[in-house]
Amino acid sequence: MESGTAFVAMDRLLDQCQSGPAFLGEPEIAKVVVAALYDGDRRFGRYELYSFVVMPNHVHLLVTPKVSSREWLGPLKGFTAHEANKILARHAPFRQPESYDHLVRNQDEFHRIRQYIENNPIRAGLAAIAEEFRWSSACQATPVSVGSGFLSPQSNFRSARGFPSKPRPGEPRPQA
């Protein structure tokens, strides 16, 4: 089985969420993950964040790393696992050690992956439209409240270098 085919098959199984923990579906934990995703970009400069979705049992990201994955993915997973376990009042493994990385080769692939990520909640039956799923970069509604601050889901997104931005449905189109 090709890696892309294997990825889609595994993602469909995860979307069904029929076994295993679904802790990321807890709003308090999802908020922590979203805040950490923004922090990795804005505060720590470890990557450029283009798209994400926090599903009940997994996360999809579209990023351009600025450091090795050991320097950004490890801290991201470690921090969010630690915080989630505090919220859940438990001391147990929280995440799987593996991840699936894919090199984006061109603009069309970038936009296809971005759509795949943001439409994941629709395929999983969690939203009718991508923009209504709160724990996604597609959400354009209420900012996500974390602690004393607010994170606007759209405030940090930019075009990938070399991949011109295609506006999402409902976004204003640039004027020529």
Which of 156 and 50 is assigned the larger pLDDT? 50
| Predicted model pTM | 0.71
Q: Which residue has the tokens 């995440």?
A: 95
Reading the block at residue 114, the tokens are 């971005």
The total number of structural domains that make up the chain: 1
Residues 6 or more apart whose Cβ sits within 8 Å of residue 133? 53, 121, 122, 126, 127, 139
What pLDDT is attached to residue 94? Answer: 76
How far CA 152 is from CA of 47, 135, 138, 145, in Å, comes to: 18, 11, 11, 9
What pLDDT is attached to residue 69? Answer: 87
- Asked whether residue 74 is domain-assigned, the answer is yes
- Asked whether residue 156 is domain-assigned, the answer is no
- Asked whether residue 175 is domain-assigned, the answer is no
Rg of the chain over all Cα atoms, to the nearest angstrom = 16
The CATH number of whichever domain residue 120 belongs to comes to 3.30.70.1290
Greatest Cα pair distance, the chain, in angstroms, is 55
Average pLDDT rounded to a whole number, residues 114-122: 93
Beta-bridge mates of residue 65:
47
- Asked whether residue 86 is domain-assigned, the answer is yes
- Asked whether residue 67 is domain-assigned, the answer is yes
- Asked whether residue 43 is domain-assigned, the answer is yes
- Asked whether residue 26 is domain-assigned, the answer is yes
Least confident of 48-52, 98-102, 117-121: 98-102
- Domain containing 32: what range? 3-144
